[in-house]
Structure 1
Amino acid sequence: MTAMRSAGIEALLFDKDGTLFDFEATWGVWAAGLLLRLADGDLGRAAYLGDIIGYDYHRSKFLPDSFVIAGTPDDLVTAFAPEFPSHSRQELITMINDQAEDAPMTEAVPLDPLLRQFAGHGLRLGVATNDAVRPAYAHLDGVGVRDHFDFIAGSDSGFGAKPEIGQLTAFCDAVGVAPRDTVMIGDSTHDLLAGRAAGMWTVAVLTGPADTDALKDHADVVLPDIGHLPSWLGLD
Structure 2
Amino acid sequence: MSGTRTIRAILFDKDGTLLDYAKSWLPVNRELAIFAADGDQELANHLLRETGMDPETGYVVPDSLLAAGNTREISEGLVAAGARREMEELVAHMDGLFASAASRAVPVTDLRQFFESLHGKGYKLGIASSDNERSIRHTAERFGFAHLVHYVAGYDSGFGTKPEPGMVLGFSEATGIDVSEIAVVGDNNHDLHMGQRAGAGLKVGVLTGTGSRESLSAASDHCLNDITELESILPALA
Same-fold status (TM-score > 0.5): yes
Letter in 1 for 2:99: E
Inter-partner Cα distance in structure 1 for 2:105 and 2:149: 18
Task: Provide structure 1 residue ranges, at least 5 long, that are not aligned to the other structure.
Answer: none
Give the direction of change, closer, same or farther, for the CA distance of 1:64–1:219 in structure 2 (3 Å limit): closer
Matches within 5 A, 1:160-199: 160-199=160-199
Aligned equivalent of 2:157: 157
CA distance 1:158–1:196, change in 2 (3 Å): same
Q: CA deviation at 1:84?
A: 4.8
Q: Is the 8 A contact 2:38 2:84 kept in 1?
A: no
Aligned partner of 2:215 in structure 1 is: 214
In structure 2, distance between residues paired with 1:102 and 1:60: 21
Of residues 68, 71, 74, the one that matches 1:73 is: 71
Partner of 2:19, secondary structure, is coil
Change in CA separation of 1:65 and 1:115 when aligned onto 2, cut-off 3 Å: closer
Computed over aligned residues only, the root mean square deviation of the Cα atoms, in angstroms, reads 1.9
Per-residue Cα deviation, 1:7-36 (whole angstroms, up to 9, x for no partner): 421100001111111111111111011112
5 Å matches for 1:108-119? 108-119=108-119
Tell me by how many angstroms 1:125 deviates.
Answer: 0.3
Paired with 1:72 and 1:91, the residues of 2 have a C-alpha distance of 15
How much does 1:76 deviate?
1.1
Counterpart of 1:225? 226
* Residue 7 of structure 2 corresponds to residue 9 of structure 1: yes
Q: TM-score when scaled to structure 1?
A: 0.90
Once residues 161 and 180 of structure 2 are traced to their aligned partners in structure 1, the CA distance between those partners, rounded to angstroms, is 20
- Runs of 4+ aligned residues of structure 1 deviating over 6 Å after TM superposition are none
Is the 8 Å Cα contact of residues 37 and 84 (structure 2) preserved in structure 1? no
Cα 1:187–1:80 shift into 2, 3 Å: same
Structure-1 residue corresponding to 2:132: 132
Aligned match of 1:60 in 58, 66, 69? 58
Q: Quick one: structure 1 residues 203 and 177, their matched pair in 2 at CA, closer, same or farther if it must change by over 3 Å?
A: same
Paired residues of 1:126 and 1:152 also in contact (CA < 8 A): yes
Q: Is the 8 A contact 2:68 2:188 kept in 1?
A: yes
Query: Percent sequence identity over matched residues?
Result: 32
Q: CA deviation at 1:78?
A: 0.8
Q: Distance in 2 between matches of 1:96 and 1:140?
A: 19
Query: How many residue pairs align between the two structures?
Result: 230
Cα distance, 1:65 vs. partner?
5.3
CA contact (8 A) 2:128 2:154 kept: yes
Q: What is the rounded CA distance, in whole Å, between the counterparts of 2:127 and 2:85 in structure 1?
A: 35
